[in-house]
A and B are shown apart, each in its own frame.
Chain A
Amino acid sequence: MVNLHRFANPNRFMRLSGLILPWASVVAVLTFPVGLYLALINSPPDYEQRETVRIMYIHVPAAWMALFSYTCMAAASAVALIWRHPLADLAAKSIAPVGACFTLICLVTGSLWGQPTWGTWWVWDARLTSVLILFFLFVGYMVLFDAFDDPTKGARAAGILVIVGFVFVPIIKFSVDILELRTLHQGASVSKLSAPSVHESMLWPLLVMALAYAAYFISLLLVRMRSAILAARVRSLRMMQAQRASRAAIVPERP
């Protein structure tokens, strides 16, 4: 097993993330225009949905990333609870708002897509409902994290919550399937990798967009974690400065 404690050192993390961050951001900056060009201009319109199918290239990767973010958050929280790994808490905390935003993007684009294709902004079908509940799980995590005066306690309480939530996500998914046995939303069409039911001309833009989303996620996560570490450093430096200043103020009074 990889020795996780090697990465627990914030200095080592800063060095490593400093190396990864430029690459991840460059990939994100390059793939977004390419992916958007392929998706919005250089891909065929759907024979039934016409141009509205292009929403898919924004919507589907957002849904993937939302689930991926929640999984990462649960994994990071588990690492934090088991090995008391401070960076893992920080990672989970940094993922939460990003994941919530992906979920929101998924919901909003899904709603915009639903209006022209299904004729309604919102339906209570299995997938929409479970993504909506996923959004509430993200929000609950963030609120619980902030509800404690002691941030380490908040981190651990929220970590327990996200692990419980992770166990329940499949149950929620399954139960909303029961809610709507007949649903408007189409089933998964890309996961069957051997023979995906999306045509190649649409699959490529989708995959490029997914890569762009992933690179964006990694860069944003690293920036958030790095700035949190730096903020903690600035804080401790200020404390030291204040301590020194107060000592200097006290010393001359003594004879």
Chain B
Amino acid sequence: MNAFIAIVRRDVTLALRRVSDTVSVVLFFVLAIVLFPLGIGPELNLLARIAAGTIWVAALLAAMLSLDRLFQVDADEGGLDLLVLAPLPLEAVVLAKCLAHWLVTGVPLILSAPILSILLNMGGDGFLVMILAMALATPTLSLIGAVGAALTVGARRGGVLVSLLVLPLLTPVLILGASAVDLALAGLNATPLLMLLGAMLLVAVLLCPWAAAAGLRLATE
């Protein structure tokens, strides 16, 4: 457990020292959303209608951007070999790194989403559901993304490849999350969809550390 906490603390500390990396993910999120009114036109009704979906798509893409650094930095510096050799099971290492990744990218995304929803003229009824759904979905993004990041550590090209592998797997998160907010905006009960998002998270916690650890073992062979 100490080792687990140590890895989380190390990754968070590293991210805070290189704070521009974290900030750039959030800035990308903001910019991507600002582009939509510019591209589609500033009509407020239309923006309100597409707000939930736009915010979710932008959050998904922003989370993708940060993934290629998840294991690649460690692999380049040689730290990954030590993590593989560590007494802590590699699956737990992956889980710790996902937790750290979520703390430095997921949480800022959750916090900035409500502010951005004001920019897009989203109704106030969706705020709470938006935050809850984001809180359930962003850890899933980190976990599934970790699989893609781990599988591409030894590959010739990282960045775009990770998105190509991971985005199809993330479509359920996008659909459930955006639908939950839309339901709440329509005054309906979004709890079932939030529960499904929670179920997705549990599946991801069960499955993804194994797959990512297998990918990391492969990369360090």
Contact = CB atoms under 8 A, between A and B. Distances in A.
Interface of A: 81, 129, 133, 136-137, 139-140, 143-144, 147-150, 153-154, 156-157, 160-161, 163-165, 167-168, 171-172, 174-176, 178-179
15 contacts: A81-B214, A129-B171, A147-B155, A147-B156, A153-B154, A153-B221, A156-B218, A157-B154, A157-B218, A160-B151, A160-B211, A164-B211, A178-B179, A178-B193, A179-B179
B205 to A, nearest CB: 13
Query: Interface majority SS on A: helix, strand, loop or mixed?
Result: helix
A143 to B, nearest CB: 6
A139 B163 CA distance: 12
Give the bracket for the number of chain B residues in contact with chain A.
20 to 34
Interface in B121-160: 147, 151-152, 154-157
A171 B154 contact: no
Interface of B: 147, 151-152, 154-157, 161, 164-165, 167-169, 171-172, 175-176, 179, 193, 196, 200, 203, 207-208, 211, 214-215, 218-219, 221
Given A160-B214, A178-B175, A148 B154 contact: yes
B155 A175 contact: no
A167 B176 contact: no
B174 to A, nearest CB: 9
B22 to A, nearest CB: 27
Nearest to B214: A160
B176 A178 contact: yes
Nearest to B211: A164
